[in-house]
């Protein structure tokens, strides 16, 4: 698999460019040794709630989903925090740290002129805030949020929305994501998709659908570009 000049790359944000567990040290100051568990629950419920709302047709902005998932994770941990602490966590979530391989990857892709966009369940302002805070925004051609589609990935409507927003055809789009559900959703929509297997022990969903390519790191991605 090689990317051609007409390929449009769609980078998932949370879990691919940005580390959703970057607040574990902050959580440790609130819930102590339960921090990693709370972070895991927070992320899992964030995804679960987005799936459920997509199925129910009960869309709310991703920031609301994120806040509700945090409330659940803290409740499970038996953590009683103040409104100020909750607000601070959600504010910090808008400036999460990027993975160490993200900046060089995006810079290399921009240098050879292949179109690339952030593509996220996140709210538009939050996506831009995240990427600007981590010095990634300038290496992208823009960002596409699912918000106008009023649903969440992997709803096929979200991938169609990306194509309309970027003036692309599905056959020319390639998702780059660490999330198997997103990879399968993109392939189902007629895209190519690269799975970033950050954890070598991670198992891809056994649906009979395989990623177009599997890479261990974003640093391997620029090598797939055919000039």
218 contacts 196 by C-beta, under 8 angstroms: yes
Check for a shared fold between 8-19+96-224 and 24-94.
no
Whole-number Å distance between alpha carbons of 156 and 146 = 11
| Amino acid 227: pLDDT | 55
Average pLDDT, 10 consecutive residues per value, the chain (227 residues)? 81 97 95 95 98 97 97 94 93 95 97 95 94 96 97 98 97 97 98 97 96 97 82
| Amino acid 18: pLDDT | 97
Q: How many CB atoms lie within 10 A of CB 204?
A: 14
59-85 burial code (b ≥16 CB/10 A, e <16): bebbeebbbebbebbbeebebebeeee
Whether 135 is catalytic:
no
Catalytic residue among 12, 19, 123, 155: 12
CATH number for 24-94 (one of 3.30.70.1520, 1.10.150.240, 3.40.50.920, 3.40.50.300): it is 1.10.150.240
The helix (run of H) or strand (run of E) holding residue 201 is none
Task: Give me the sign of the Cα torsion angle 99, 101, 104, 108.
Answer: negative
| Amino acid 80: pLDDT | 87
pTM higher than 0.85 for the full model? yes
What CATH superfamily classification does 8-19+96-224 receive? Answer: HAD superfamily/HAD-like (3.40.50.1000)
Domain boundaries, the chain: 8-19+96-224, 24-94
| Amino acid 6: pLDDT | 83
Whole-number Å distance between alpha carbons of 20 and 10 = 18
Whole-number Å distance between alpha carbons of 136 and 99 = 11
The helix (run of H) or strand (run of E) holding residue 159 is helix 156-166
Whole-number Å distance between alpha carbons of 77 and 34 = 7
């Amino acid at each position: 698999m090689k990317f051609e000049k007409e390929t449009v790359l769609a980078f998932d944000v949370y879990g691919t460019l940005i580390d959703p567990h970057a607040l574990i040290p902050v959580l440790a100051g609130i819930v102590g040794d339960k921090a990693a568990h709370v972070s895991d629950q927070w992320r899992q419920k964030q995804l679960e709630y987005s799936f459920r709302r997509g199925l129910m047709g009960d869309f709310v902005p991703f920031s609301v989903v994120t806040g509700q998932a945090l409330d659940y994770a803290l409740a499970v941990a038996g953590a009683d925090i103040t409104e100020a602490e909750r607000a601070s966590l959600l504010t910090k979530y808008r400036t999460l740290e990027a993975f160490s391989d993200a900046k060089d990857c995006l810079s290399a892709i921009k240098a050879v002129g292949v179109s690339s966009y952030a593509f996220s369940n996140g709210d538009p302002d939050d996506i831009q805030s995240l990427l600007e805070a981590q010095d990634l925004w300038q290496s992208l051609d823009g960002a596409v949020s699912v918000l106008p589609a009023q649903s969440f990935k992997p709803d096929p409507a979200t991938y169609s929305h990306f194509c309309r927003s970027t003036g692309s055809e599905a056959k020319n789009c390639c998702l780059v994501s660490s999330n198997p559900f997103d990879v399968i959703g993109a392939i189902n929509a007629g895209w190519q998709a690269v799975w970033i297997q950050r954890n070598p022990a991670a198992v891809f969903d056994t649906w009979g659908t395989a990623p177009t390519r599997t890479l261990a790191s974003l640093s391997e991605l620029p090598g797939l570009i055919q000039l």
